[in-house]
Amino acid sequence: MHLSMEKSVEKISNNDASSFNEGGGKTNGAVHCLLLYYTGTFNTRYITQKLKARLEQEGWQITTYEINPLNNEALDYSPYDIVGLGSPIYGFAAPYAFLRFIRAQKFPAGMRAFIYKNSGETYHANDASSKYFLRKLRRDKVIVENEYHFVMPYNIHFRFEDACIREMLEMDRKLMEILVYEVTHRIPNWKPYKLWPRFVSSVVARPQYIGGNVNSFLYKVDKKKCINCDLCIKRCPTQNIYRNKKGEIAFHHHCLMCMRCSFYCPADAFDIGFLEDWGWHVNIKGGYDFERIEKMPLKPFITPDTKGFFKCYVEKYEKINERYEEIMKAK
């Protein structure tokens, strides 16, 4: 189960099929599953790779497709029995790039789907984050019976400690076992969204959709720190970063606020606009080192007495442990 994460951040597209629409065909009786996902700083890619490997152990045939926000091509879903939809949560909602891609698709009526989302905190305000793209899926008569919320370290706000991430990855491993068991046995796992998370998601989603465009007026790069490696230009998923006539790093205004540029900048030279004013800044040059952290000894980080920001994890982890135990007994 412990695969090493592909640490290359050079490779922007991570799709299995070079020509997606020619892929597959339901040939040998195996379940054909497409994992369709969006990622900013590659946490969702990491989960997708784990999920791919785990479902392959069950004999499923998996194709992955990483959304390129500059290409909202409509895919051919006829080779697939089921689609897994993966994305981070931005402002208690799915990222706009993900929503836009889903809206550009024509899913076959009756197709099965499951959602595997992830985010930094487990507050219930995140519960209804899928509501906008679900509307589109329901219009296309897609059958969505399962939704899972993985926890991954923040790429915004603040840096998570390794010990916290170690436990988080273990909880994600257990949640993935729950997902795999339930999805492969067709056991629905769906909780209707309560009113208040739906309300929070509606209020915050819309500013999130335009927030990056507005914020990129405020983005700055410290010329004294910048080592002119141009990685931010090469990696930006929307080609929002360029060099102006003076040779300085400059920004257009079609930013997704994905944080890839500032998170991975080798010189930590970014000022990310209004988020800096809130004290939010995460720069991790090579990214969180999941491969190393996975090998660390597992020690309890969240305990029943945990207070403050991490208190929300107590209930989440208890529920994961409870369901995981049930499934291990059932197996």
Ligand X SMILES: Cc1cc2nc3c(=O)[nH]c(=O)nc-3n(C[C@H](O)[C@H](O)[C@H](O)COP(=O)(O)O)c2cc1C
- Nearer to ligand SF4 by Cβ, of 6 and 230: the residue is 230
- Nearer to ligand SF4 by Cβ, of 10 and 305: the residue is 10
Residue from 55, 97, 111, 259 binding ligand X (CB under 6 A): 259
- Positive or negative torsion for Cα 290, 281, 12, 62: positive
Tokens of 135: 């509307």
- Nearer to ligand X by Cβ, of 41 and 49: the residue is 41
Q: Which does 154 bind (CB under 5 to 8 A by kind): ligand X, ligand SF4, none?
A: ligand X
Q: Tell me if 250 sits within 8 A of 219, measured CB to CB.
A: no
Residue reference for tokens 């993966």: 86
Q: Which does 238 bind (CB under 5 to 8 A by kind): ligand X, ligand SF4, none?
A: ligand SF4
- Least distance CB 210 / ligand SF4 (angstroms): 13
Residue from 20, 77, 92, 116 binding ligand X (CB under 6 A): 92
> Counting contacts by CB under 6 A, is residue 88 touching ligand X?
yes
Residue ranges in contact with ligand SF4 by CB under 6 A: 212, 221, 226-232, 236-238, 240-241, 249, 251, 255-261, 265-267, 269
- Nearer to ligand SF4 by Cβ, of 74 and 227: the residue is 227
Query: Which residues in 24-83 contact ligand X (CB under 6 A)?
Result: 39-44
Candidates 95, 90, 84, 88; CA nearest to 43 is 88
The amino acid present at 271, given as its one-letter code, is D
- Least distance CB 213 / ligand X (angstroms): 12
Tally DSSP H helices, then E strands, for the chain.
Answer: 10, 9
> Counting contacts by CB under 6 A, is residue 23 touching ligand X?
no
Q: In 252-315, at which residue ranges do the beta strands (DSSP E only) sit?
A: 270-272
Round to whole Å and give the CA distance between 194 and 117.
18
Q: For residue 327, how many C-alpha atoms fall within 13 Å in the half-sphere facing its CB?
A: 19
Q: Tell me if 213 sits within 8 A of 255, measured CB to CB.
A: yes
> Counting contacts by CB under 6 A, is residue 119 touching ligand X?
yes
> Counting contacts by CB under 6 A, is residue 126 touching ligand X?
yes
- Nearer to ligand SF4 by Cβ, of 106 and 225: the residue is 225
Helix boundaries (H) for the chain: 43-57, 96-103, 131-139, 162-184, 195-215, 231-235, 260-264, 274-277, 290-294, 312-330
- Least distance CB 273 / ligand SF4 (angstroms): 10
Q: Which does 200 bind (CB under 5 to 8 A by kind): ligand X, ligand SF4, none?
A: none
Q: Which does 42 bind (CB under 5 to 8 A by kind): ligand SF4, ligand X, none?
A: ligand X
- Least distance CB 202 / ligand X (angstroms): 13
Q: Tell me if 57 sits within 8 A of 30, measured CB to CB.
A: no
Q: Tell me if 141 sits within 8 A of 106, measured CB to CB.
A: no
DSSP secondary structure letter of residue 16: S
- Least distance CB 269 / ligand SF4 (angstroms): 4
> Do strands 112-119 and 219-221 pair parallel, antiparallel, or not at all (unpaired)?
unpaired
> Counting contacts by CB under 6 A, is residue 257 touching ligand X?
yes
Q: Tell me if 164 sits within 8 A of 296, measured CB to CB.
A: no
Question: Which residues of the chain form contacts with ligand X (CB under 6 A)?
Answer: 39-44, 88-92, 118-121, 126, 152, 154-156, 257-259
